[in-house]
Amino acid sequence: MAFSETGKVWMNGKMVAWKDATIHVASHVIHYGSGVFEGIRAYDSTRGAHVFRLPEHMRRLADSCRVYRMEPPYSISELTDAVLETIRVNGYKSCYIRPLVYRGYLQLGVNPMPCPVDVAITVWEWDTPLGGDDARRSGVDVGVSSWTRIAPNTLPALAKSTANYANSALIKMQATVDGYAEGIALDESGVVSEGSGQNLFFVRDNVLYTPTLTSSILQGITRETILVLASDLGLEVREQPLPREFLYIADEAFFCGTAAEITPIRSIDKIAVGNGRRGPVTAALQDRFFGVINGDLPDEHNWLTPVGAAVATP
């Protein structure tokens, strides 16, 4: 969905008009991908507008900064307040939230450390599910990518770095050209990793499987949410390396992530997953997940931060 190009962007402590939220073409991040970011969602609900798992997302942002030796000029508490303030200033109840910490404009060279660390927070409406409006129920068709996920000790998969998403873009573009809604990548050893921007879960004989953190995956906030919800439902969960052929014998499969939420997979490489429809385990997890964020179920795990929460005094 295209941007509306209206509203405000938080940039280095100031609200800036959307059209004025720009950086110099010689900024380090443009040339070398020296930035980290988060993807977060705010939802309207029967309990009012709230942000889903905001503290966890902001902690991961801080972790990514630490890995890349970046020290933002704002505390995580200040940036958390800035997220809520940006949502309110723009008048949104439901939106996508993109905090970005990046190396800005000073000089160019591979070493990013002389360049300033800048911060921006952008919010916009996002109402297009992965695969279209009916995908939550009908599922999506995906293919295994010829592109491999980043290898250990090359780029840090646990850091949500802008540079990592060059690999994601290659996976996504190939899937699109091949007629799939998404791609699934394998890691350097040939075991299942993740989608271009989503974690993966599979069901076999009512056991829930997901790749381990050592399979070159991002430590997804929604992934961790699924693990908690599965425990609430009494499901057995196994985090383990999964061979490619497991994709074709799973009874159910689904993507999860901030943008994807929980999206069933109905076929992989044109082989139907199970009976080719959303399965009962996937449906049960969806009911729990959307029940909490929509306000129909209690927030037992304190995952929701009200958009109207107080902003700290500067």
Active site residue: 8, 19, 93, 160, which one?
A: 160
Tokens of 108: 């160019």
Residue 161: other Cβ atoms inside 10 A: 21
- Please name the residue that has the structure tokens 């660390």: 117
Pairing of strands 199-204, 192-195: unpaired
Answer positive or negative: Cα dihedral of 157, 163, 164, 167: negative
What SS3 state is found at 156?
Answer: coil
Q: What is the DSSP letter of 110?
A: S
Nearest one of 43, 36, 73 to 58, comparing CA atoms: 36
Contact criterion met (CB below 8 Å) for 62 and 68: no
Contact criterion met (CB below 8 Å) for 212 and 239: yes
Residue 112: other Cβ atoms inside 10 A: 23
Active site residue 8: no
Pairing of strands 40-43, 95-103: antiparallel
User: Under 8 Å CB-to-CB from 24, ≥6 apart: which residues?
Assistant: 104, 105
Pairing of strands 261-268, 140-144: parallel
Rounded Cα gap, residues 25 and 33, in angstroms: 13
- 10 Å CB burial of residue 243 (0-12, 13-18, 19+) is exposed
Rounded Cα gap, residues 182 and 159, in angstroms: 22
As annotated, the active-site residues are: 160
